[in-house]
Chain A
Amino acid sequence: EAQVTQNPRYLITVTGKKLTVTCSQNMNHEYMSWYRQDPGLGLRQIYYSMNVEVTDKGDVPEGYKVSRKEKRNFPLILESPSPNQTSLYFCASSLARVRGYTEAFFGQGTRLTVV
């Protein structure tokens, strides 16, 4: 089954404690991205990756890091989480960004609470 898998689904952590949210896709997609979703603000892109070893900032990258060492994996790293990073996070993947063919597949989400 084609899917994007995120782990964990729920996470409560304390301010400053480094954490990693994993994301894996089994569709051989080149393009992967991370979003956060907050009430009234919608989905905002954090980082994206066009391919292995190619990453770039989205709209709200501050406080986050990513890496793309393998095509299937795109972990999101919070080096020093703060309460304003409490949010619902989604990983998404799609085929290469060929114009007109960019249906995005989303993971099931990770609800992060930073206290």
Chain B
Amino acid sequence: SQKIEQNSEALNIQEGKTATLTCNYTNYSPAYLQWYRQDPGRGPVFLLLIRENEKEKRKERLKVTFDTTLKQSLFHITASQPADSATYLCALDTTYNTDKLIFGTGTRLQVFP
């Protein structure tokens, strides 16, 4: 069955460091992958989208990579700040089913001053 895995353990890092979150998937051939930020009790907010033919995408302090051979995406936040503390979700569409996004369970990031 199709499966998306994100590290369920929280990632704790010090302010100023680079946070790296991982999204692995199996039994998919995604056309693209998205990353969202979710704060407690609130709806997810879209951050970045990367297509299958793109290796890397950047937006300000955010960087996403997409390795279709490894079936993995990495999400980086450089110069992290306490305000970056949140849960980050990856979501995939598939080449063969464009009717829905499949979400991972998310990884909680905590940035300490």
> Which residues of A pack against B, CB within 8 Å?
4, 33, 35, 40-45, 48, 50, 56, 58, 88, 90, 92, 97, 99-100, 102-109, 111
Contacts and interface: CB of A to CB of B under 8 A. Distances in A.
Is the contact region of chain A dominated by helix, strand, or loop, or is it mixed?
strand
B103 to A, nearest CB: 4
Contact of A109 (B8, B36, B41, B99): B41
A90 B51 CA distance: 25
B98 A106 contact: no
B44 interface: yes
Contacts, number: 62
Interface of B: 8, 31-32, 34, 36, 41-46, 49, 51, 89, 91, 93, 98-101, 103-106
Main secondary structure of the interface of B (DSSP, over half): loop
Given A109-B41, A109-B43, A104 B101 contact: yes
B70 to A, nearest CB: 21
B31 A99 contact: yes
B105 to A, nearest CB: 4
A55 to B, nearest CB: 11
A108 B41 CA distance: 8
